[in-house]
Amino acid sequence: MSKIAWEKWESVGVITMNDGENRHNPDFVREILSAFDDIEKDPGISAVVLSSSDPKNWSLGIDLQWISGAMAANDLPGIRTFMYGLNRIFTRILMYPMPVIASINGHAFGDGTIIACACDFRFMKADRGFFCFPEVDINIPFLPGMLAIIKKAVPYYKLEELVFTGKKTGAAELAAHHVIVKACPDAETLFQESLSFAQTFNKKRPVFGEMKKRLHAAIIETMEKEDPAYIEPLQLML
């Protein structure tokens, strides 16, 4: 089974992450970008839902086993390429010419949470799953571009709490602070709510894409101008 698969539900492209914890490595980068490319080729699709087939996890972020192996092998060019690949995912979602809705049916941790923040809207299952930035506890400071992405999705007062404490936060609390659109009682309701919301969109791609381009220009500039200062020397951990 592919790590990433997608199918068309009427006017919605549903991308499903199919790799359990859905950790990010070069294969994940390649496959999710390919899915977004394929969906954009279909003119009958006007929105995207990003979900997971795992009942426990939406995405737990970077594949630590892969990156540890790459470090042990001194594959520094490979690690740099991967880090820029993550930024390509963020940029693709931020600039995508149609709405991207995160349907968070399980745990979203670290870089997985940042992908959720890059999406335009977020729905989350309330009965199981946490939204968490554990970086402060594992000595990995955010890249400037990652912080810029989080700021667009999380109110600043809540952002400080989540980033500085590493707190695990549930759907009801996130809904109360408008980080997500809605906390849904179970996985089936979550998918139906996410899909129904996605089906309300029928915007023209050129104007929708241009709106996102202008709205997110500062985030893209941060990734392009500030992130290389940390990626090139691989100053990714303390």
Residues 6+ apart with CB under 8 A from 66: 23, 25, 26
Residue 2: its pLDDT value, please?
Answer: 87
pLDDT tens-digit map of 46-83? 999 999 999 999 999 999 999 999 999 999 999 999 99
CA distance 119 to 99: 8
Range 188-195 average pLDDT: 98
Q: How confident is the model at residue 238 (pLDDT cuts 50, 70, 90)?
A: low
Residues 6+ apart with CB under 8 A from 91: 220, 223
3-state SS, the chain, equals CCCEEEEEECCEEEEEECCCCCCECHHHHHHHHHHHHHHHCCCCCCEEEEEECCCCEEECCECHHHHHHHHHCCCHHHHHHHHHHHHHHHHHHHHCCCCEEEEECCEEECHHHHHHHHCCEEEEECCCCCEECHHHHCCCCCCHHHHHHHHHHCCHHHHHHHHHHCCCECHHHHHHCCCCCEEECCHHHHHHHHHHHHCCCCCCHHHHHHHHHHHCHHHHHHHHHCCHHHHCCCCCCC
Average pLDDT, the chain: 97
Residue 158: its pLDDT value, please?
Answer: 97
CA distance 15 to 7: 7
Residue 237: its pLDDT value, please?
Answer: 74
Range 130-139 average pLDDT: 96
Q: How confident is the model at residue 106 (pLDDT cuts 50, 70, 90)?
A: very high
Closest CA to 140 of 28, 26, 235: 235
Beta strand pairing call for 12-17 and 4-9: antiparallel
Question: Tokens for 21?
Answer: 């914890």
Residues 6+ apart with CB under 8 A from 238: 139, 140, 141
CA distance 116 to 149: 10
- Token pair 């930035």 in the structure block, residue: 133
Question: Tokens for 195?
Answer: 């899909």
Question: Tokens for 231?
Answer: 């990626």
| CATH 3.40.50.2300 given to domain 4-198 | no
pLDDT tens-digit map of 137-148? 999 999 999 999
Closest CA to 102 of 179, 159, 177: 179
